[in-house]
Amino acid sequence: MVGNKEFHSRNKHQGTYDFEKLVKVNPSLKEFVHPGKSDRLSIDFSNPKAVKELNRSLLLSDYKLNEWNIPAGYLCPPVPGRADYIHAVADLLAESYDKNLMNFKVKCLDIGTGANCIYPIIGISEYDWKFIVSETDPKAIKNIEWILSKNHILKDKIEIRKQPNAEKIFQNIINSNDLFDCTICNPPFFSSEEDAIKANTRKSRNLSRDKKAQSNFNFGGIGKELWYKGGEAAFIAKMIRESKQSATNVYWFTSLVSSEKNIPKIIQALKGVKATDFKIIEQNRGNKKSRIVAWTFLNKKLKQIWNKSKK
């Protein structure tokens, strides 16, 4: 495992937030900004509305968007951490293809992109990637369509594929003639709604003494975004099993892994499907430690053929 204590070197969110700049691009943030420690401007990170406006400001300021929003109750992603995932996968592809990051076109599949469409926004803004995004929720799909309609930078870069069966991950999404350089996924972490509420209550207590904030998810999120029976390990194991059916359609399958204790189960699943190679990439950045698991079924010959197609 390879780890760093700071954000990725290409991550735009190094150091503290420039709240004066962010308020200029998104005046709705202003009501949530107040002096924090050492009189530096900050927000109440246990307040989901404040967190949403902060992340909206970052997207408008740093990723060339004109407008962005999500419906009430949907997951609001922390942009800096999501950007790190994209940068790490970009490094993985550059290493695999032995090419400069900006000198090849990438087609990425985002599994369960959610109403926020965050990974495609970052991948397109930073690297001009093209995306297929899968989603089961009609309301989330409608919001993605709205985001696309408001932002020219995303035009012709994102194709939405509705997953008709919520029990499937890659099935019904990857067609026989598809070729993806990578897949990405932010899997549900908790095994039940009760577990999610308990965890968020503990987190809110650490972030704020305001008891009213304790019943809220500071990053929001509806059921399927936050929990899955068996939790993160079960979801990723299922993803690994399904990926075998699309072994030659994808160079690198990847997923975020929030809990280190799930790594042994994930490695066991990868060995079970006979992945030809896998990597665990550590990300010890910001206030949260996480990992990326990446795996492939391509043998040396298939990798060479794939690499030649990028020249």
Q: Which residue has the higher pLDDT, 285 or 100?
A: 100
Nearest one of 106, 45, 125 to 286, comparing CA atoms: 45
Tokens standing for residue 186:
């932010």
Q: Give dist(CA 86, CA 97) in Å, integer.
A: 16
* pLDDT digit string, tens, across residues 253-283: 999 998 899 999 999 999 999 999 999 999 8
Asked if 184 and 117 count as a contact pair (C-beta separation under 8 A), the reply is no
Asked if 249 and 274 count as a contact pair (C-beta separation under 8 A), the reply is no
If phi > 0 it is left, if psi is from -120 to 50 it is alpha, else beta; for residue 162 that is: beta
**Residue 191 confidence class, pLDDT cut points 50, 70, 90:** low
* pLDDT digit string, tens, across residues 8-32: 999 999 888 999 999 999 999 999 9
Mean pLDDT of 52-73: 96
Percentage above 90 pLDDT, the chain? 68
pLDDT at 4 over 70: no
**Residue 189 confidence class, pLDDT cut points 50, 70, 90:** low
Please list the residues that pair with 184 across neighbouring strands. Answer: 110
All residues at 6 or more sequence positions from 227 whose CB lies less than 8 Å from its CB, including other chains? 188, 189, 190, 191, 192, 193, 195, 196
Nearest one of 162, 185, 297 to 241, comparing CA atoms: 297
Q: Which residue has the higher pLDDT, 123 or 205?
A: 123
**Residue 73 confidence class, pLDDT cut points 50, 70, 90:** confident
The pLDDT score that the predictor gives to residue 104 is: 80
The pLDDT score that the predictor gives to residue 75 is: 85
Check the CA dihedral 124-82-173-275 and report its sign. Answer: positive
**Residue 64 confidence class, pLDDT cut points 50, 70, 90:** very high
Q: Report the first-to-last Cα separation within the chain, whole angstroms.
A: 30
Please list the residues that pair with 111 across neighbouring strands. Answer: 185
Task: Tell me yes or no: is domain 73-308 CATH 2.120.10.30.
Answer: no
Mean pLDDT of the chain: 87
Residue with tokens 């280190």: 260
Q: Give dist(CA 65, CA 67) in Å, integer.
A: 6
Give the range among 43-52, 97-106, 171-180 with minimum mean pLDDT: 97-106
